[in-house]
Structure 1
Amino acid sequence: MHPLIDVPTLDRLIRRRAPVVLLDARWRLAGPPGIESYREGHLPGAVFVDLDEDVAGPPGPGGRHPLPAAGDFEAAMRRAGVSPGRLVVVYDDADSTAAARVWWSLRYFGHDQVRVLDGGHRAWTEAGHPVTTDEPEVKPGDFLAAPGGFPVLDAEGAAELARGGVLLDARSAERYRGEQEPVDPVAGHIPGARSAPTSGNVGVDGRFLPPGLLRERFGQLGATDAADVGAYCGSGVTAAHEILALNLAGIPAALYVGSWSNWVADPANPVATGTG
């Protein structure tokens, strides 16, 4: 299934009362929590999912947003109405950073009918479609979480890929170079990783670039369908966005879920700075 859905297609599905599970995944690293935006107005029928509580395990040495336990993720998705064979559409504010982590997580845990609303909540409202403050009554789903739908990396695997394949760093270029680090205790990047900020995957409207442009972008970094490719970020959220963009470009890639927050938790792991 194509990982994206556009506003007109989703609008037609909603008008036809098609069996779609809508997930509102709005989330901010800093600022008001996403649930506040949800309560101010969301797509009709959408259910809020909390990235920190529903899509990640407790923060710790494994990272700030490690993989949740399969049973915990299964329960959260069942509460949201997710069932096998039923299309899930997930959105966030605009650029799909948080929505991509939900998309990746559902795919990883075995749900293959999931798409991201390209352009998110902003694209929906700019097209003149209504939002609501009504929270839907949700019929619990019967989703079964089966890990392994997408490849993952641990710290050792990320280091090996940086040496022998292509490991993309999805954070801002300033964080990659070690010039600033607003969240984690150590600045820099995994030695051998290549800077590929997720901001380069989308246009000013928050929609993903066409596949051809994404293939060109990643190809300039050595990431092609003939290479072993992986991605990481600060805590495994924006790197999922990178995986989605790579998917659009036809390039399979593994996610280092623990990412930089896991890497620097072990002082024995080396750190590089500069353009690398």
Structure 2
Amino acid sequence: MNDSVVVTPDWLAAHREDPQVRIVDVRDAWEYDGIGHVPGAVSIPFDSYRDESDVDRGTLPGAEAFADLCSEAGISPEDTIVAYDDTHGVFAARFVLTALEYGHDDVRLLDGDYSAWNREYETSSETPDVESTEYEPDPLAPEESPLVDYAAVEAALERGALFVDTREAHEFEEARLPGAVRFDWREVVDDETRRLKPADELEELLAEYGITPDREIVLYCNTARRISHTYVVLRALGYENVSFYEGSLTEWLANDGEVESGEVE
């Protein structure tokens, strides 16, 4: 796995005291305070960087709001950010996607989650002292962003792109984009270790669903949370032609987009 995208607990343990490595805990504040956290981590809860009021595309919080969060947490644009949660990384991956969209060049996902870290390394209940910054976001231009809108999705359907639905079976059967394949985002996680499966195993697994690097891939779910994890994993494996439908099925249905339903043979 590319460690510029996903880092192991060993990597984080070796680098966590580097002043330019900023660790972000996206769990609820009570978990951060009451259960403990990776030493040196700052708390930026999931709900704080998710906004459903249409301030930006989908549930993105807007560049200014994201900059305020980073500034308060003492993060600078030049820092290496490592984000984690305690849910196999799905909430932390959303932070990674958000940071990338607002121009943060070096943001990575912790392979595993807080529980995986806690099995091998010390935790802390102390809140670190941080000096606030004046974080300046640099949002990606539309042509640079992996995020695509309704019109781009329509065009991708006509081109025969591979649409990957990361939701559960009952959601997929109720309504899905035409021709989509279902790939539950949790399939990439080893339940015993709580970490990602080995890269060669992941590549073989993805290939079983036709999700290969030579395909144009469009990811969607309901509200773009679960696809964040799949997107980060595909990037770590070197997939390049991957689009991220931020509006996902929620927007598609609101625009009366064509759907299929029922079980798949």
Instruction: Give the TM-score band, short-chain normalised.
Output: 0.7 to 0.9
Three-state SS of the structure 1 residue aligned to 2:223 is: coil
2:43 corresponds to 1:42: no
1:198 pairs, out of 185, 189, 205, with 185
Shift of 1:141: 4.7
Q: TM-score if structure 1 supplies the norm length?
A: 0.84
Distance 1:162 1:169, change over 3 A: farther
2:214 is aligned to 226
User: How far did residue 257 of structure 1 move?
Assistant: 0.9
Distance, in Å, in 1 between the alignment partners of 2:105 and 2:56 is 26
Which residue of 6, 12, 15 maps to 2:8?
6
Q: 2:170 aligns with which of 169, 174, 181?
A: 174
TM-score by length of 2: 0.87
Secondary structure of 1:203's partner? Answer: coil
Write the deviation string for residues 24-73 of structure 1: whole angstroms up to 9, x where unpaired.
Answer: 112xxxxxxx122112122222111132332x33345988x522322222
CA separation of 1:216 and 1:158: change in aligned 2, threshold 3 A: farther
- Are the aligned partners of 1:104 and 1:240 in contact in 2 as well (CA < 8 Å)? yes
Aligned residues: 256
Q: Is the 8 A contact 1:110 1:146 kept in 2?
A: yes
Which of 233, 244, 255 does residue 255 from structure 1 map onto?
244
Whether the 8 Å CA contact 1:190–1:272 is kept in 2: the answer is: yes
- In the alignment, the residues of structure 2 paired with residue 139 and residue 77 of structure 1 have an alpha-carbon distance, to the nearest angstrom, of 8
**Residue 98 of structure 1: how far off its partner (Å):** 0.6
Which secondary structure state, in structure 2, belongs to the residue aligned with residue 43 of structure 1? coil
Deviation at 1:140, TM superposition (A): 2.1
Aligned partners of 1:170 and 1:239 also within 8 Å: yes
Pair 1:133–1:174, CA change in 2 (3 A): farther
Q: Which residue does the alignment assign to 2:225?
A: 237
Whether the 8 Å contact between 2:75 and 2:132 is mirrored in structure 1 is no
Letter in 2 for 1:87: T
**Within 1, Cα distance between the matches of 2:156 and 2:26?**
30
82, 98, 101: which is aligned to 1:89? Answer: 82
Residues 228-251 of structure 1, C-alpha deviations (whole Å, 9 max, x = no match): 111011101110111112112221
Q: Quick one: structure 1 residues 101 and 77, their matched pair in 2 at CA, closer, same or farther if it must change by over 3 Å? A: same
Instruction: For 1:275 and 1:218, locate their aligned partners in 2 and report how far apart those are by CA, in whole Å.
Output: 21
Give the partner amino acid of 1:47. V
Report if the CA contact (8 A) 1:189-1:273 is conserved.
Answer: yes
- Equivalent-residue separation in structure 1 for 2:234 and 2:80 (angstroms): 22
Report the equivalent of 2:140: 147
Is the contact between residue 103 and residue 140 of structure 2 (CA under 8 Å) also seen in structure 1? yes
Show the counterpart of 1:246: 234
Percentage of pairs with the same residue: 25
Say if 2:55 and 2:61, in contact at 8 Å, map to a contact too: no
| CA distance in structure 2 between the partners assigned to 1:234 and 1:74 by the alignment | 26
Q: 1:123 aligns with which of 116, 119, 124?
A: 116
For structure 2, the residue ranges without an aligned partner over 5 or more in a row are none
Partners of 2:217 and 2:243 within 8 A in 1: yes
SS of aligned partner of 2:254:
coil
Give, in whole Å, the separation in 1 of the partners of 2:207 and 2:259.
25
The answer as to 2:51 corresponding to 1:57 is yes
CA contact (8 A) 1:70 1:147 kept: no
CA contact (8 A) 1:46 1:136 kept: no
Task: Kindly provide the CA deviation profile for residues 134-180 of structure 1, in whole angstroms up to 9, marking residues without a partner as x.
Answer: 353343253423224541111232233344111100111221112xx
Query: Is 2:204 aligned against 1:216?
Result: yes
Instruction: Check the 8 A contact 2:176/2:261 in 1, yes or no.
Output: yes
